[in-house]
Amino acid sequence: MSTEEKIKKELIQRFGDAYKAFGLNKLMGHIIALLLFSPEPLSLDDITKQLGRSKGPISQIVRRLRDKRLIRKAWMPENNRKDYYEIEPEVFEHAFRNNLELIKNNKRIATQLKEKIKSANKASLATINTRMKEMELFYSLMEEHYNAFLNEWSKERAKLYK
């Protein structure tokens, strides 16, 4: 096995493990890694063959990855019958923004439940009220830090491509 193949295999394995650790589908990580590694866009058949998986699950995951803006369709003039895919140029930022949306959603949940608890005005809900206040504060602070990071990142990314 060539050095290139070893690196590719390790990248695919590690991304699969990382995605699984985040509670996501391991195959998502495999596809992302494969497209990160590939200098050219790949067709669904290419992805299926290189990962040794059947077309159904690959097709389903590719659709989800496109919805999350992690990969995109690529135009290949020499073959207009097949869809080709490549990594989104801002794949890491999009993944980060997807996480930010989860944080915002958790904050909304806490805020909404806190309001319902407040309007119920029951002493028996004091514990959950405190916990929802903590949850709201926690996710508010996370959102603030994520937004600060995104501002810093856009400055760093601009330097990278000067």
pLDDT of res. 52: 95
Reduced 3-state DSSP string for the chain: CCHHHHHHHHHHHHHHHHHHHCCCCHHHHHHHHHHHHCCCCEEHHHHHHHHCCCHHHHHHHHHHHHHCCCEEEECCCCCCCCCEEEECCCHHHHHHHHHHHHHHHHHHHHHHHHHHHHHHCCHHHHHHHHHHHHHHHHHHHHHHHHHHHHHHHHHHHHHHCC
Residue spans of the domains in the chain: they are 3-87, 91-160
Q: Give the pLDDT of residue 28.
A: 96
CATH fold, domain 3-87, is Arc Repressor Mutant, subunit A (1.10.10)
- Consecutive 10-residue averages of pLDDT for the chain (162 residues): 94 95 93 96 95 95 96 83 92 94 96 94 94 97 97 92 82
Q: What is the pLDDT of residue 60?
A: 96
